[in-house]
Amino acid sequence: MPTFEYKIVPAPRKIKKIKGVRGNEDRYARNLSDLMNELAADGWEYQRAESLPVDEKTGMMGKTQEIFHNVLVFRRETIPATETAPTSEPAPVYEAPNEAADPAMLETLVVEDSVEIDVPELGPAVRD
């Protein structure tokens, strides 16, 4: 069963000027299609547009207002890490050589005396 990941991007609010495109509606449509094509090149498939409510604080007094944001929803299929492409040949098996190990390779590193650092003990967390 396929699994998907989703990406939510804000819908364009400002209309960028495009040479040769006249009218605000045409410019907005071109801006929107450019955004969709850019995401499609990365494998994202457009799903839908949503208008979602958000409670935002405004002004110095922090009065809460409900504001709607327009977003675009995209998705693309994810491939789980356990799935791999089927191959006709079995994976090669590594076999360790039976040769005796070189004594120089078996030498252990000697770490010099460690430096002691005074670290203050941490107490329980306290809220201010």
pLDDT score recorded for residue 71:
94
Residue 85 placed within a domain: no
Q: How far apart are CA 111 and CA 128, in angstroms?
A: 43
Examine residue 38 and state whether it is found in any structural domain, yes or no.
Answer: yes
Tens-place pLDDT, residues 77-120: 987 766 555 556 666 666 655 666 555 554 544 445 555 555 55
What is the model's pLDDT at position 24?
A: 87
116 inside domain: no
H or E segment to which residue 71 belongs: strand 63-78
Asked, for residue 58, whether it belongs to a domain, the answer is: yes
- Residue at 119 is within a domain: no
Q: Dihedrals φ, ψ of 49, to 5°?
A: -110, 140
Cα separation, 16 vs 11, in Å, equals 13
Q: Which domain holds residue 39?
A: 3-78
- On whether residue 102 sits in a domain, the answer given is no
Element (H, E) at 37: helix 24-41
In a domain, 63, yes or no: yes
Judge whether 97 lies within some domain: no
